[in-house]
Structure 1
Amino acid sequence: MLDIVMTIHTVFAALWTGGTLVVAGAVIPAARSESLSRDGLTFIARRFWYLTVASTLLLLFSGGHLAGTIYTAETLQTMGRGNLVLAMVGLWLVLAIVLFFGYRQLTNSLSEKSAVAAATKARPWFLGASAVSIALLVVAGVL
């Protein structure tokens, strides 16, 4: 059972961080250069939001199960690996918050303006989310 939970956790972590990097590195620049229409950007943003919500929930439950099975409260605080797990939880929370605000900037601006304006307003949020995603991948690699 632990292997299945670990696999689900890893797959959704990879999808979420990878999706964040794709949106920040390809979708936002395409919208800003007018290569992506308003409707196309809306479609991608909505799909990415579904991935974000699903990943957030699955990572919460699967990560909680893994941490509760592998670690105790004491080992999370005293062991190096436990500290890395706590760092991942913090980064996971930051990523969810940053993407929430990035998505809001993107979709609220789309209802009022063009895809270029919406992508320009959302760009700093998605760049920040990319940095957090890379940090999560680095911590996961060390763990």
Structure 2
Amino acid sequence: MALIHSVMWTIHVGFAILWTGSVLFVAVAVIPPATRGDIGTDALGSLIDRLRWITRIGAVAFVVSGGHMAGVLYDVNTLTGTGRGHLVLTMIVLWLLITGLIEAGGGKLSRGLETGKLREPAREAKPFMYAAAGLSVALIATAGLLANPFGL
């Protein structure tokens, strides 16, 4: 049983690193040059498609691994009545918000790129991607609080 717990933690943390890193990379290193027209539409489309796929595959990984961890470590009372449970619920809300922002911003970019535009869709997607990046930092901070072995 310890092996399955380790595998689930590894999957969860591995996808969290990949996903939040990808969100931050797109917001910091891809969107600014796209708004200036300094990146090609094919490259931008490829990066956004990959981010959206990482988000979707990560969703499955998070539900499976996080569901396992929550089922082993928490019940309704500990999720709703303890500081650690509140952190888990906060992470779930942040995950859902970031996922929605990535899908909305990625959709705006993809639709614009399909019409051959670059700067306008990048500008339209920018607030979504920046908000997703900000919430990703909040998600990382929440995970750090949850991982703290000394309590809240």
Same-fold call, TM > 0.5? yes
Contact preservation (8 Å) 1:98, 1:125: yes
Mapping 1:1-143, distance limit 5 Å: 1-143=4-146
Q: Report if the CA contact (8 A) 1:105-1:121 is conserved.
A: yes
Q: 2:63 aligns to what SS in structure 1?
A: helix
Letter paired with 2:99: A
Partners of 1:7 and 1:131 in 2: CA distance: 24
Q: How far apart are residue 34 of structure 1 and its match?
A: 2.1
What per-residue deviation string (whole Å, max 9, x for no partner) do you get for residues 69-118 of structure 1? 11111111111111100111111111111111011111011112422222
Q: Deviations over 1:7-62 (max 9, x none)?
A: 11001011111100000001111212222101111111111111111111111111
CA contact (8 A) 1:109 1:121 kept: no
- Give the TM-score of the pair, scaled to structure 2: 0.90
Residue ranges of structure 1 left out of the alignment (5+ in a row): none
Letter in 1 for 2:30: V
Q: Distance between the aligned counterparts of 2:64 and 2:33, measured in 1?
A: 34
Amino acid at match of 1:100: E
Q: Which has the higher contact order (CA 8 A, sep 6+)?
A: 1
When the two chains are superposed, the root-mean-square deviation of aligned CA atoms in Å is 1.0
Q: Percent identity among equivalent residues?
A: 37
Higher mean Cα deviation, 3-12 or 113-122?
113-122
Tell me which amino acid in the other structure corresponds to 2:7. Answer: I
* Aligned residue identity for 1:138: A
Moved over 4 A (4+): none
User: How does the TM-score come out when normalised to structure 1?
Assistant: 0.96
Structure 2: runs of 5 or more not aligned: 147-152
Aligned mates of 1:56, 1:95 — CA distance in 2: 11
